[in-house]
Amino acid sequence: MEQNNRRKFLLNSLKLSVGAAVLSAMKPLNALAAETPEEHSDASATYIFEQIPLPYAYNALEPYIDAKTMEIHYTKHHATYIKNVNDAIQAEKINVTSAYDFFSKVSGYSAKAKNNAGGAWNHNFFWQSMRAGGNSGPTGKIKAAIDKSFGSFDKFKAEFTAAATGQFGSGWAWLISDNGALKIVGTPNQDNPLMDTAPVKGKPLLALDVWEHAYYLKYQNKRPDYIAAWWNVVNWNEVDKRLA
């Protein structure tokens, strides 16, 4: 009787030991299962581009930029860039932490990802480069920096206007800071000076969109008239902040 009880005790102990060992062996498998792409995807944490709210009403920049152009530019062109770049990020499994990180590696991405990322970021930057109510020109740090780099505001304005007017086809004119020195550069299409493909790189301070969709409804083919009008809505306070 005592021997039978001892056999039962040993058998039960063996079953418990085997069960514990099986459970112990299963824990790492369960932990790995929790890290499958379906349940734990790096893509869920990657940077996505967002369209900022327009800082003013569509008609706020009139008579220099008309309301219909602003509405179409913002709700159609810009919104499409936002959608397309985020579609490309998902399709190409692009994992970056910021727009700056994206642009620093943009040469390795598709044309769709590059062009639409530029369109998304450039337009956010462009909207903030303008303000309603006119302006009295640059003041403070940005005025001092412009005077130092170009000799005077008038000389800077003439050089920037020439770059914007002379940009062949679609593109942008930029004022950038290159290690503290201010420079004027042009970029084609939706390129910008943050991209690792840019011939001249630097920190953007001011941008002007010279794609035809930015001005054609009001100015038709008269790009110089659009550029001349645009100087009336430059947000110099924002440019001054960007210089800091």
Kindly state whether residue 107 falls inside one of the protein's structural domains: yes
Question: Is the model's pLDDT at 35 over the cut of 60?
Answer: no
Kindly state whether residue 230 falls inside one of the protein's structural domains: yes
Question: Is the model's pLDDT at 63 over the cut of 50?
Answer: yes
Packing angle, helices 79-91 and 111-128, rounded to 10:
140
pLDDT tens digit string along 169-223? 999 999 999 988 999 999 999 999 999 999 999 999 999 999 999 999 999 999 9
Kindly state whether residue 58 falls inside one of the protein's structural domains: no
- The Cα 81–Cα 51 span in angstroms is 9
Q: Are 210 and 228 in contact (CB under 8 A)?
A: no
Question: Is the model's pLDDT at 108 over the cut of 50?
Answer: yes
Which CATH number characterizes residue 194's domain?
3.55.40.20
Kindly state whether residue 47 falls inside one of the protein's structural domains: no
Q: Which domain holds residue 207?
A: 66-243
Q: For residue 45, name the pLDDT band (cuts at 50, 70, 90).
A: low
Residue 42 — φ and ψ, nearest 5°? -60, -30
Kindly state whether residue 9 falls inside one of the protein's structural domains: no
Q: Which position has the higher pLDDT, 183 or 136? A: 183
Kindly state whether residue 131 falls inside one of the protein's structural domains: yes
CB atoms within 10 A of CB 24: 9
Kindly state whether residue 42 falls inside one of the protein's structural domains: no
What is the value of pTM for the model shown?
0.81
Kindly state whether residue 6 falls inside one of the protein's structural domains: no
C-beta contacts of 234-237 below 8 A and 24+ residues apart: 234/129, 234/130, 234/131, 234/135, 234/206, 235/128, 235/129, 235/130, 235/131, 235/135, 236/135, 236/137, 236/138, 236/139, 236/142, 237/131
- The Cα 244–Cα 2 span in angstroms is 88
Q: Tally the domains of the chain.
A: 1
